[in-house]
Amino acid sequence: MFDDRDRKILDLLQNDASLGVSELAERVNLSVSACSRRIQRLEEEGFIARRVVLLDRPLMGLPTTMFVIVRTARHSAEWLEQFRKAINDIPEIVEVHRMTGTIDYILKLVLPRVEAYDGIYRTLVERVEFFDISASVSMEILKTTTAVPTRYVR
């Protein structure tokens, strides 16, 4: 049973996972024990996948965001396994999406500067065969969030 209090708990935790159970309980008008049981249930049911700390990228020396567009001529399981291994070995690649349409994959990279991309590019093309690979630098982040809307849960 998922209700508005569960939704509120998830919204609050997405914004600040360090909130204590007592503060969460107060904000959703529950006792501490009832709130704790709900959080535990939300974790057990998989709504809360994990709790993480988000780092300040500029302070970490990674102010640059690049998006790499990949097209491949091969779509075999072997190629995909090579690609998965290559991207998993490069920590600067923080997201990879398989796409529909004329683009096969989009990679999101975080870098100290644009010039650092060359080393990652060389590593990728040494390990995986591509039909086409191109990159674009993000000039400005207009919106970024890790929170997802909770209104669609029934």
Instruction: Provide the pLDDT for residue 93.
Output: 98
Which of the four pLDDT bands, split at 50, 70 and 90, describes residue 48? very high
* Cβ atoms 128, 87 nearer than 8 A: no
Instruction: Provide the pLDDT for residue 80.
Output: 96
* Cβ atoms 17, 51 nearer than 8 A: yes
Question: By three-state DSSP, how is residue 112 classified?
Answer: coil
Q: What value does the mean pLDDT take over residues 20-45?
A: 97
93 phi and psi, to 5 degrees?
A: -85, 110
Query: For 105-138, what is each residue's pLDDT tens digit?
Result: 999 999 999 999 999 999 999 999 999 999 999 9
Instruction: Provide the pLDDT for residue 154.
Output: 82
Q: What value does the mean pLDDT take over residues 87-110?
A: 97
Q: What value does the mean pLDDT take over residues 10-16?
A: 96
Where do the domains of the chain lie? 4-44, 64-137
Mind giving me the DSSP string for 40-88? HHHHHTTSS--------TTTTT--EEEEEEEE-S---HHHHHHHHHHHH
CATH number corresponding to 64-137: 3.30.70.920
* Cβ atoms 44, 60 nearer than 8 A: no
Q: What value does the mean pLDDT take over residues 14-27?
A: 96
Distance CA 154, CA 150 (A): 9
CATH 1.10.3810.10 at 4-44, yes or no = no
Tell me the pLDDT of the chain averaged across its residues: 96
